[in-house]
Structure 1
Amino acid sequence: MNSSFHTMWDELRPIGRDSSSGGYRRAAWTGADTDCRAWFRAQAEARGLSYERDRNGNQWAWLGAASYTDVAAGEAVVTGSHLDSVPDGGAFDGPLGVVSGFAALDELRRRGAEFGKPLAIVNFGDEEGARFGLACVGSRLTAGLLTPEAAHELRDADGVTLPQAMERAGYDPSAIGPDRERLDRIGAFVELHVEQGRALDLTGDAVGIASAIWPHGRWRFDFHGEANHAGTTRLEDRRDPMLTYAETVLAAREQARLAGALATFAKISVEPNGVNAIPSLVRGWLDSRAADQDTLDTVTKEIERAATERGARDGVDVRVVRESFSPIVEFGHALRDELGAILGRTGTGGARTVPVLGTGAGHDAGILSGTVPTAMLFVRNPTGVSHSPTETAAEDDCVAGITALADVLEGLACT
């Protein structure tokens, strides 16, 4: 199993890695994304699995079926994650789940496991939303949570639409849309993911089970002011949107702190973006998350109120658009408890209790949870750092994650 994991990790590691930052740039439908997809297909074919890509560009590798059409309703056991990244992201966020899926299959074959149900490994496309601004595009389309019409309107920073990007990568954008027949075949989807936080490090556990995903969303704040000369315009004569934006960033931090929530402005665009020009427009994107819906609503409303009030004082017009939203996801207790029972039985040294923890990060498993039974396994992150080149996981913990996933798949899919 170690050999299998190392071989795959070494092959995948260089793809999309930026030499200057050390981070990964694997945005959807780019050259790096194409190379990752080729890697996935090669892993499937090397193991004698049936390979297919669905109408939304997601990739599937099947054991015990030539295609999803050969699978009875509710019969398939599926694992996997994603291979794309945020700009200068880490190596583990997403890929660890895909690599672990193949490695877990290798481990089960080494054990001589006999599969009673079809098994699939999946790579969902554009999970991070780094290029088009909407997370989990592949799984959202599949689950019917993103309409084809809305998907066709998505554009990247260069004005390239999602259909244009798909077409350039050799995919047919006219086919995108809900894929209920495929999802109806899935009896359980288990996503393994590196933890994006330090809960497991604090408890001393290598592996945990997800309880819930916090509700979260992305809001675009447009601050419209008046362009003018930075060297000649008196401070009291300015309608400077950058000032309003800066105060809104501070307000977001304060509101999140007071509510025990999270609020982050991390992306910004400025027009005309000149050193000696007061901006006419500052556009900032807010990411906010909280443990419950009421708290999230309160935080975002207070941030918008603070922005509007400050804008009135600065002579700046503030407009807010919610670009995406994901409600709270409570993973089904039946599958979650089954995972806990399986891992409790197979723990080294006898029965053990596997920690159950929530997360503020969104995942494909969360998107699918309203349609199919889903669960998640987390692998310890010793620093808690994610979406960064310094994201890491220890080799022993990765191996523990693979073992746990193999145990779960054996419990769910094998006779």
Structure 2
Amino acid sequence: MPDDFERMWSDLAPIGRSAQSGGYFRQPFTAPENELRAWFLEQCAARSLRVESDAFGNLVGWWDVGAGPAVLTGSHLDSVLDGGAYDGPLGVVSSLAAVDVLRSRGVVPARPIGVSVFVEEEGSRFGLACLGSRLATGTTSWEAARELRDRDGVAFGDVVEGGSSSLLASVGTYVELHVEQGRNLVDRGAAVGVASEIWPHGRYRFDFGGVADHAGTTRMEDRADPMLTYAFTALGANKQARLAGQRATFGRVEVTPNGTNAVPSHVTAWLDARCATESSLSSLVDGITTQATDRASRDGTSLEVTAESVSPAVVFDPVLAARVAADHEDGDWPIIPTQAGHDAGILSAAGVPSAMLFVRNPTGVSHSPAEHAELPDCLVGVSALADTLERLAQ
């Protein structure tokens, strides 16, 4: 007998959880994520789902019924560093539970249904978000991906076989359920919502160069300190994004030589920028870069900016979104935008009609141990996903 939603969630709760922070460390191809993948395989076996994998580690458990283009659902199991419990796993658990709901209703879909697990969605290990779905859709090449390295210098090509993927060849539609990463549904008083679009966003590496020196003997006016240039840049990015109503975050910094009593010689910082339009994103990043370049010239430091990944806006098929949102017991579900990237955005951009369901997050906090969803809302999400799969698979 397959485990129900509450049992599955209870089984996942301790895996990869930090005793200190309560957050999760489920980076791709590490012991916690491998344990989660083993759990997924067990759950598929309990439901007699045929599991298919590709050369990059992506998985799909197929309910082999009907014929024609398949309906795919699912999400991911990896996390950001010290992340929350719900981002990713909620979609996987809900997808398995939705299959159970359909079977309990006696539904026999006319099209195959698959439950997916995409690898390295967060980009927390190899630096490129949605890496698994990018490779599965062919929007990122294996030649480029194999050279990506984690913080310890391990190449992506050293941990996966690599090659090509036909995992999505039969997929006609993709539906991803996800915890909302914001407060839109809280403010609306709705347990579930449907995505209209994903904001364009990008990750940019800022390399600030300076001159290492002694923290005690070097006069302040004699320094070429890249940390000062970085600090000014981070403050300036915050101000520019606030004034424009957009998003700019420096969340990761590496310092060389990283000594308490030394002026650093180099600072590398990563900017995450997200905007309502692609032109707004370009303007924001250009403005931050211009301000940083001007500051570097005054500090006697250098600056090089590299766009590591830039994702354009994704507008989900409005007809599909309306179909997913319409005619439910409590009326239509709200259709809302999201500022977070998702595998659904990658599949949609690659030409696979895609939709997203969001489950209310009472804290509005994500990528943090405070990320949350109440059990009753999660169960509403399962029912909503089951309703959606039933509609799309007929």
TM-score norm. by structure 2 comes to: 0.97
Quote the Cα distance in structure 2 between the aligned partners of 1:224 and 1:153: 25
Which AA in structure 2 matches 1:60?
A: V
Contact 1:89 1:387 in 2 (8 A): yes
| Residue in 2 that maps onto 1:310 | 295
Considering only aligned residues, what root-mean-square deviation do their CA atoms show, in Å?
1.5
User: 1:112 deviation in Å?
Assistant: 1.1
User: 1:184 deviation in Å?
Assistant: 3.8
Quote the Cα distance in structure 2 between the aligned partners of 1:304 and 1:71: 52
What is the correspondence of 1:2-401 to structure 2 with a 5 Å cutoff?
Answer: 4-64=4-64, 72=68, 75-166=69-160, 172-173=161-162, 175=163, 177=164, 179=165, 181-341=166-326, 344=327, 346-348=328-330, 352-370=331-349, 371-401=351-381
Q: Deviations over 1:265-307 (max 9, x none)?
A: 0100000000000000000000000010111100000000011
Quote the Cα distance in structure 1 between the aligned partners of 2:376 and 2:34: 30
Structure 2 unaligned regions, length at least 5:
none
Quote the Cα distance in structure 2 between the aligned partners of 1:95 and 1:373: 22
Q: Secondary structure at the match of 1:183?
A: coil
- Percent identity between the two aligned chains: 54
Contact 1:71 1:185 in 2 (8 A): no
Contact 2:185 2:191 in 1 (8 A): yes
User: 1:71 deviation in Å?
Assistant: 5.9
Q: Secondary structure at the match of 2:168?
A: helix
Q: Secondary structure at the match of 1:141?
A: helix
Quote the Cα distance in structure 2 between the aligned partners of 1:353 and 1:10: 31
Q: Identify, as 1 or 2, the structure richer in helix.
A: 1
Q: Deviations over 1:95-127 (max 9, x none)?
A: 000000000111111111121110100000000
Quote the Cα distance in structure 1 between the aligned partners of 2:376 and 2:269: 40
Contact 2:2 2:43 in 1 (8 A): no
Quote the Cα distance in structure 1 between the aligned partners of 2:288 and 2:216: 31
Quote the Cα distance in structure 1 between the aligned partners of 2:245 and 2:124: 27
User: 1:209 deviation in Å?
Assistant: 0.3
Contact 1:2 1:399 in 2 (8 A): no
Q: Deviations over 1:139-182 (max 9, x none)?
A: 0011111111110110011100001123xxxxx23x2x3x3x54
Contact 1:219 1:287 in 2 (8 A): yes
Q: Deviations over 1:333-374 (max 9, x none)?
A: 121121123xx2x324xxx12101001100000000022100
Quote the Cα distance in structure 2 between the aligned partners of 1:111 and 1:241: 63
Structure 1 unaligned regions, length at least 5:
167-171
User: 1:64 deviation in Å?
Assistant: 1.3
Which AA in structure 2 matches 1:11?
A: D
Which AA in structure 2 matches 1:402?
A: V
Structure 1 stretches of at least 4 aligned residues deviating more than 4 Å after TM superposition: none
Quote the Cα distance in structure 2 between the aligned partners of 1:71 and 1:52: 17
Which AA in structure 2 matches 1:358?
A: P
How many residues are aligned here? 393
Q: Secondary structure at the match of 2:115?
A: strand
Contact 1:183 1:372 in 2 (8 A): no
Deviates more, 1:197-206 or 1:184-193: 184-193
Quote the Cα distance in structure 2 between the aligned partners of 1:281 and 1:99: 44
Which AA in structure 2 matches 1:163?
A: G
Q: Secondary structure at the match of 2:294?
A: helix
Quote the Cα distance in structure 2 between the aligned partners of 1:59 and 1:186: 14
Contact 1:331 1:369 in 2 (8 A): yes
| Residue in 2 that maps onto 1:169 | none
Quote the Cα distance in structure 1 between the aligned partners of 2:310 and 2:58: 21
Quote the Cα distance in structure 1 between the aligned partners of 2:3 and 2:110: 27
User: 1:413 deviation in Å?
Assistant: 1.3
Quote the Cα distance in structure 2 between the aligned partners of 1:336 and 1:5: 25
Q: Deviations over 1:182-238 (max 9, x none)?
A: 434111100000000000000000000000000000000000000000000000000
> 1:408 aligned to 2:388?
yes
Quote the Cα distance in structure 2 between the aligned partners of 1:61 and 1:323: 32
Quote the Cα distance in structure 2 between the aligned partners of 1:155 and 1:71: 40
Quote the Cα distance in structure 1 between the aligned partners of 2:193 and 2:392: 18
Contact 1:215 1:327 in 2 (8 A): yes
Q: Secondary structure at the match of 2:341?
A: coil
